[in-house]
């Protein structure tokens, strides 16, 4: 079993930022999956909104964007791509203006999007810290990140 360690959130976000920047420097347009709807991670959204220039050239894929519209607008203006199959209030104005991408599909089709262009290089999720066997759950969420 691979070694799994828990990392403070800010440290993990710095690592994620470097990995995404490396993909962009290599000429790729990486995809970062960010949970939406009930799974929103405010700390990660704030990280994106506070320094969107660091994520220029990255597409953020969110199933339903509910975060603050002003934050998403700031991110888009700095070159962050927003992609969503379901338009939420966080990006409705951006989609209507042609500044964010809406991929229309049924909920059952969303996993198929990850088989092609929208397969994420980085994915965020709410989890507990790993137990002794390396397993995590979606309850007992902490402000730490699991980095493998």
CA dist., res. 1 & res. 114, Å (int): 25
Share of the chain above pLDDT 90, in %: 58
Across the range 102-121, mean pLDDT stands at: 91
How high is the pLDDT of residue 141? 47
Each residue of 4-42: pLDDT tens digit?
Answer: 566 788 888 999 999 999 999 999 999 999 988 777 888
CA dist., res. 32 & res. 21, Å (int): 12
In whole numbers, what is the pLDDT of the chain averaged over residues? 85
CA dist., res. 19 & res. 25, Å (int): 10
């Amino acid at each position: 079993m691979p070694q799994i360690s828990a990392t403070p959130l800010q440290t993990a976000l710095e690592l994620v930022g470097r990995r995404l920047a490396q993909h962009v420097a290599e000429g790729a347009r990486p995809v970062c999956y960010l949970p939406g709807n009930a799974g929103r991670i405010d700390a990660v959204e704030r990280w994106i909104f506070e320094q969107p220039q660091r994520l220029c050239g990255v597409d953020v894929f969110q199933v339903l964007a509910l975060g603050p519209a002003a934050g998403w607008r700031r991110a888009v203006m700095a070159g962050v791509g927003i992609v969503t199959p379901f338009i939420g209030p966080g990006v409705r104005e951006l989609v209507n203006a042609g500044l964010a991408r809406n991929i229309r599909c049924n909920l059952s089709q969303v996993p198929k999007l990850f088989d092609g262009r929208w397969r994420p290089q980085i994915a965020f999720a709410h989890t507990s810290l790993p137990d002794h066997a390396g397993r995590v759950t979606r309850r007992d969420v902490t402000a730490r990140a699991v980095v493998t």
